[in-house]
Amino acid sequence: MTAPDAGRGIGNGVETGTFGVPMTNFRILHVSTGNVCRSPITERLTRHALADRLGDPLWGGLIVESAGTWGHEGAPMEANAEAVLADFGADASGFMGRELLDEHVIMADLVLTATRDHRAQVISMGHSAGLRTFTLKEFTRLVRAIDPATLPPLEDGVVARARALVRAAAALRGWLLAPTAEADEVYDPYGAPLTFFRSIGEEIHQALDPVVTALTGVPARA
């Protein structure tokens, strides 16, 4: 589920992160419950969008993964989730579910969760996760309020831009509140018919679009 590590640090110097580990890439971790529906869809749609915007299978140092708070270790994603990804032309192959572990949170530079409960569970694991953990829709709302001109240009590297974006979003949290509690939730389609999976897939796709645009500095192609 992890993109190859070759080509890390494109356009960036080497920085030191948690426990002195060199930070020459940027890890995005998507979290849901079972890691068979929402987070696999979000992971693979993110990868697909990054490849579309950047035209590089390594995405300039961005690594996109997923896990579940009650993850079905080694399980395939749900067939309806695969169907949703096919609708968007995204690759569903080779996926295996994972249970969320401390090491996943430690390594992640940005954690995007399906719900507020998932966000709370990630933050409760510690590892200074609070400033880099958001629900997907919360992060989308914050990103929309950030002036792209305040972020490093793409020439400085996608990794530098991504780190600046997370810092800016964290600074805005508490100032830009959701209109309702439910506004930050992506509901679980597990066991639902394909039509509901597709509505969730479209919801995730719409939430990801401004995030990927902000990360890469490249808008979606018409």
pLDDT tens column, 18-67? 333 335 899 999 999 999 999 999 999 999 999 999 886 556 789 999 99
Token couple for 146 = 């950030």
Strands 15-16 and 22-23: antiparallel
Whose CA is closest to 2, among 64, 85, 94? 64
The span from the CA of 142 to the CA of 101, in Å, is 27
pTM (2 d.p.): 0.88
The span from the CA of 66 to the CA of 40, in Å, is 6
Decide: 51 and 84 in contact? Cβ < 8 Å: no
pLDDT tier at 16, thresholds 50, 70, 90: very low
